[in-house]
Each structure stands twice: as structure tokens, then as C-alpha cells.
Amino acid sequence: MNVAHIIVIGLSFLSVVCKKQNPVPPPDVESLKSVAPFPVGAAISATHLQNNTAYKNVLVKEMNSITPENAMKFANLHPQSQSYAFGDADAIVNFAVAHGMRLHGHTLLWHQSVPGWVQQFNGDSAAWESVMKTHIQTVVSRYKDKLTSWDVVNEAFLDNGALRIPDTDTSSRDNGSIWARKLGTDYIARAFTYAREADHDLLLFYNDYGQEYSTAKIQSIKNMVNSFKARGIPIDGIGLQMHMHVNTSRAGITNALQQLSATGLKIHISELDISVNSKGDPNAVYSDAIQKAQGDLFSFVVTQYKSIVPVAQQYGITTWNVGDADSWIRSTYKRKDWPLLFDDTYQKKAVYHAFLQALRN
Ligand code: G3I
């Protein structure tokens, strides 16, 4: 062995030692949850969770808050009057608990998730009250200590600020709420009270869409919050769904965050997505220019949230679904669209990087 051999062997040895002491960080260690100053989450489906490893991996790596997309809705959980179907909800709860994720329940009462047995239910006002109370308290009690918060009531107001009308006209069913019709217009307050009775530690949210474009709806929500405070009805937070499109007015977003933060309640951006083909053009393409505009809007939402909402009120930001392929927009409107941070195979998109950059403190 000559001197050159000895030097080579010595250098190799040193290199191994140095690698052990200063391991090169693996690429891609950053994630949304690692940079965000508040929880970041997504609405998820039990089916995807069970069948799609890429989906599951991206959740584990990126998110620290989870909202069940459908599994905890009334019609899903309580399809028959005397029986509940907890399977999908339990699967999501077990996943979140196993990975130390916060769980936000969605939603105890929503006019669009009313099972047939409730639609056909015949009873006096006490019997109707019991339907609502029993459902709320059974479900909240089951997930006590597992869920941190619930959307107690979802979408009770119309865009014109009126309470979703207690009509009897089935042709306008989407405008009416069976709960308002059968229980009277103060059902929201009683729903919140029943939820608090079942779990004193639970954070209770009112959740709705359109605050970024409807000042009338914001006013109604603020009036409701003020009335709750005056009457000692519990409420802890407001969810702004923020299903937006790439041209959504920035002024409206700023206004909604300012006005609703002024209530002092926690603010959850609860269902964020940004459609880029809201007109449903069958030839739409996801061009670089559109991706840039979408990324700018995602960044704007995050930076406004950070600068307007006081830190103690920042409940977090949740996207509605994970990858573009599982977006409700594609399945509901049967159109091309790319509204989320991950693509069809759960790879990070350009807008992911814009979102992450804005989250970084
Ligand atoms: O699971 C069944 C499947 O078995 C059946 O073959 C298929 C046929 O249509 O339907 C499937 O269920 C659908 C379910 O999504 C799961 O994909 C329902 O029809 C469909 O109505 C349901 O849509 C959900 C919608 O709420 C209504 O509950 C969307 O996934 C969900 O993203 C959407 O979420 C709402 C929020 O709760 C409130 N804010 C708005 C948001 C978007 O509309």
C-alpha cells in the first residue's frame, strides 16, 4: 500500500464519519404543516383514505387538520331513524388520531343533508325538537375527546342575508331548510346549546359560503353572533368556506376577514378551493398564466388571513379535497377544473409552492 492509497482510505473514512455526524437533509422535508403558523388541513373521504396510498401519504406529510368531507353529515351518519352508520366517520377518526391530526366535524345540521326518514317525519314540535337534539347529542357524544370542533350549523343564510326560508315549496327546496320550517327560526341557537351540553370542551362553529361576495350574509352572521352573545348562547368560531374562482374580488376577501374577525371569534377558512374554469369551457386548458393567477390568489388569501385575523383567532385553513381529481367541483359540475394544491396524482402543483411560500412566517 503506498501513500496515495493511505490518503484515499483516510478520506473515505472521514467522509463516512462526517456523513453520520452531519447527515445531509433529505430533499423535500418541508411541508405545509411544517411552515404554517396555524393548522392546515383538507376535507377527506374515507373511501380514498382506504384505497389510495398516495392520497393517504400526502395527508400524513402535509396536513395537521382533517375535516370529513361527507362522512359526518346527518344523512350519511343517521340514514334511518333508529340506526346510525358510523363506519366511514370512525375510519377517518381513527386515521386522524393515529397521526395526531386535529379533527373538525362537518356538519351537524345542513339543509342539503336530510335523510328520507326526516323528510317524511310526522310529529309535533316537541317530536321535531327531539329529532334534532337526539341527533346532535348522539353524534357529539360519540366523538367527544376525539373531535376538537364541529360545524354545528352549515349554510343557514341565503346570499341576500335572509334566513334560508322556512318554505313549504319543494320546488325551491335548495332555498328552504326543513329545520327552520319545523323548528322555527331560532333553531340555530338551540342546536349550538345542545352541542355544548353534550361536550363542554368542544369548539362550536357556524359555517357558510359567500361571505367574500355577500355583505348581506356577513351582516346576518354578525347579527346572529351578537344575539348569541347577548343571550349566552355558546359559539366559538365562524367558518368561511371560500369556494372561489380565479377572478374572485380581493376586496371582498379582505372585507370578510376584517368584519368577521371583529366578532372576536375564531376564524376558519374551512373549504378553500379556487376554480379556474367556472364557465365550464370544455376546451379549457390549465395554462401557465392561469396557474400564476391562481397561485397569486391562494397567496393573497393566506397573507390576508395572517395579517388581518389576530393570531389567537387563527383556527387554520382547510382546502376542500386534496387533489384535483377528487374535487367536488369536477364531480358536481362535470367540467374540467384544477382548483386545488395537488394534481390528479397528488403531486405538488405550482400553486402548492405559492401557498407554502405565503404560509412561511
Ligand atoms: O357515495 C355515493 C355513491 O355510492 C353513488 O354511486 C354516487 C352517485 O351519485 O353518489 C355518491 O355520493 C355522492 C357524494 O358526494 C360522494 O361522492 C353524492 O351523490 C353527492 O351529493 C355528494 O356531494 C357532496 C356534497 O357536499 C353534498 O353532500 C360533495 O362530495 C361534497 O364535497 C359537498 O361538500 C359541500 C360541503 O358539505 C358544504 N359546503 C359546500 C361543499 C361543496 O358543495
Question: pLDDT tens digits for 86-95?
Answer: 999 999 999 9
Question: pLDDT at position 361, please?
Answer: 72
Whether 271 is a known active-site residue: answer yes
Cis previous bond, 107, omega within 30: yes
Residue 113 Cα: closest atom of ligand 1: 28
The angle at the Cα of 345, spanning 341 to 347, to the nearest 5 degrees, equals 50
Residue from 332, 333, 337 whose mutation best tests the ligand 1 pocket (most atoms within 8 A of CB)? 332
Please give the C-alpha separations between residue 339 and each of 29, 167, 182, 253, in angstroms, as whole numbers: 25, 34, 37, 17
165, pLDDT greater than 80: no
Separation of alpha carbons 112 and 236, rounded Å: 24
Residue-wise pLDDT tens digits, 27-86 = 578 999 999 999 999 999 999 999 999 999 999 999 999 999 999 999 999 999 999 999
Q: What percent of the chain has pLDDT over 70?
A: 90
| pLDDT tens track for 98-108 | 999 999 999 99
Give the model confidence (pLDDT) of 226-240 as tens digits. 999 999 999 999 999
- The answer to whether the CB of 326 falls within 8 A of the CB of 56 is no
Closest CA to 309 of 233, 258, 250, 275: 258
Cβ atoms 180, 109 nearer than 8 A: no
Contact 154, 107 (CB under 8 A): yes
Q: pTM for the whole thing?
A: 0.92
Q: Determine whether the shortest distance from the Cβ of 112 to ligand 1 is under 6 A.
A: yes
The pLDDT, as a whole number, for residue 26 is: 52
Residue 129 annotated in active site: no
The whole-angstrom separation of Cα 78 and Cα 28 is 42
Q: Which of 12-21, 100-109, 183-192, 228-237 has the lowest mean pLDDT?
A: 12-21
Q: pLDDT class for 20, splitting at 50, 70, 90?
A: very low
Q: Which of 62, 155, 197, 212 is catalytic?
A: 155
User: How far apart (Å, rounded) are the C-alpha atoms in residues 69 and 324?
Assistant: 15
Cα 323 to middle of ligand 1, angstroms = 16
pLDDT interval class at 127 (50, 70, 90)? very high
CA distances for 75 relative to 40, 47, 122, 220, angstroms: 27, 17, 18, 27
Q: What is the predicted pLDDT for the residue at 17?
A: 42
Question: Measured in angstroms, how far is the CA atom of residue 58 from the centroid of ligand 1?
Answer: 22
| pLDDT (mean) for 290-296 | 98
Point out the least confidently predicted range of 48-62, 170-184, 343-357.
170-184
Contact 44, 66 (CB under 8 A): yes
Burial of 105 (0-12, 13-18, 19+ CB in 10 A): buried
**Could you tell which of 174, 207, 328, 340 is best to mutate to test the pocket of ligand 1, judged by most ligand atoms within 8 Å of the CB?**
328
pLDDT grade for 4, boundaries at 50, 70 and 90: very low
Q: Look at residue 14 and tell me whether its pLDDT is greater than 50.
A: no
Average model confidence (pLDDT) across the chain: 92
Residue 278, CA distances (Å) to 65, 211, 212, 322 in order: 28, 18, 16, 19
